[in-house]
Amino acid sequence: MAPALKALLAQGAGLAGAFLLARSGALNGLWPLVVAQATLAALVAVLLRSDRWWLPIHLGFLPLVVAAQRLALHPGWYLLAFIALALTYWTSFRSQVPLYLSNRDTARAVLALLPARSARLLDIGAGTGSLLRPLARSRPDCQFTGVELAPASWLLGRLLTHRLANLQWRRGDLFAEPWGDYDVVYAFLSPVPMAAVWNKARAEMRPGSLLLSNSFPVPGCEPAFVVEVGDRRRTQLYAYRIAPATAT
């Protein structure tokens, strides 16, 4: 089932449940019903096995709508918010890859995995460059490249990284970028594209190079090793070593 359809069903179920609670007299008042709708929508989303990032959306959607209506905001603010969200999340509804930002603990863990020699690292779906900036400062002998598609994230990343000579910042689709010249490819995406990411890595990356996935393992593939970052998120880095091609 498509994620958008799951979201619609969850919100509809939440509204139906809140309506029944109001009719039965179990709940009275606007905000108890709003909270009930949001909670029911989130529970239905869990039952439908929606990705976890949908849960705060369901919990906040109707409360924010009601709060905004009470504030009597000018319609232009809604348009501005829509444009900002669209420029930030861009094609997330299709790719099912939300904006995740790597923290400094993760950057330190990735830094420890870089070869002692000069190396090249590609961050696919680089967000605002939160991983690449500390890496580029710590390893001026290495070359780093970030690829980001969403315009707002790309622009902010461009502004934050333009002074780093060993960091290239590009706007584009992660699958359109060639991966063959990199020693390490880093991904912090979602479970959805990981099978395609692994297929591209095996097809293009050199033997011995490393694919690092933050939080989301490749389905059906055992990682070479797993790094426990030790941050508040309990982040895990799944590392996949590219094996030499077998002769046919």
Q: What is the pLDDT averaged over residues 29-36?
A: 90
Domain count, the chain: 2
Check residue 61 and give its pLDDT. Answer: 86
- Neighbouring CB atoms inside 10 A of 195's CB total 13
Residues 41 and 151 in one domain: no
Residues 51 and 171 in one domain: no
Residues 178 and 234 in one domain: yes
Give tens-digit pLDDT for 12-32: 999 999 999 988 988 888 889
Residues 121 and 231 in one domain: yes
* 236 located within any domain: yes
Strand partners for 226? 238
Check residue 247 and give its pLDDT. Answer: 44
* 83 located within any domain: no
Alpha carbons 227 and 1: distance in angstroms, whole number? 33
Strand partners for 210? 184, 241
> Is the pTM value of this prediction over 0.75?
no
Alpha carbons 164 and 244: distance in angstroms, whole number? 34
Residues 187 and 122 in one domain: yes
Place of tokens 């912090």: 188
Check residue 108 and give its pLDDT. Answer: 96
* 28 located within any domain: yes
* 79 located within any domain: no
Q: What is the pLDDT averaged over residues 58-63?
A: 90
Cα dist from 178 to 44, 70, 103, 123, whole Å: 40, 50, 26, 12
* 19 located within any domain: yes
Residues 113 and 227 in one domain: yes
Alpha carbons 25 and 218: distance in angstroms, whole number? 49
Residues 153 and 61 in one domain: no
Of 72, 92, 114, the residue at which a domain comes to its end is 72
Alpha carbons 226 and 218: distance in angstroms, whole number? 12
Q: What is the chain's mean pLDDT, rounded?
A: 87
Q: What is the pLDDT averaged over residues 173-188?
A: 93
Q: What is the pLDDT averaged over residues 57-73?
A: 83
Q: What is the pLDDT averaged over residues 48-64?
A: 85
Residues 24 and 116 in one domain: no
Contact 242, 209 (CB under 8 A): yes
Percent of the chain's residues with pLDDT above 70 = 87
Closest Cα to residue 17, out of 40, 49, 1? Answer: 40
Place of tokens 């993760």: 106
CATH assignment at residue 183: 3.40.50.150
Alpha carbons 73 and 176: distance in angstroms, whole number? 41
Check residue 98 and give its pLDDT. Answer: 61
Domain range for 7: 3-72
Q: What is the pLDDT averaged over residues 65-87?
A: 70
* 89 located within any domain: no
Angle between helices 3-24 and 30-47 (to 10 degrees): 140
Of 53, 72, 91, the residue at which a domain comes to its end is 72
Cα dist from 190 to 99, 213, 231, whole Å: 10, 9, 19
Check residue 153 and give its pLDDT. Answer: 85
Residues 112 and 17 in one domain: no
Check residue 233 and give its pLDDT. Answer: 81
* 91 located within any domain: no
Of 72, 89, 115, the residue at which a domain comes to its end is 72
Give tens-digit pLDDT for 182-211: 999 999 988 888 999 999 999 999 999 999
Residues 140 and 200 in one domain: yes
Residues 109 and 61 in one domain: no
* 97 located within any domain: no
Structure tokens at 164: 């780093």
Give tens-digit pLDDT for 85-142: 555 554 554 555 566 778 999 999 999 999 999 999 999 988 899 999 999 999 999 9
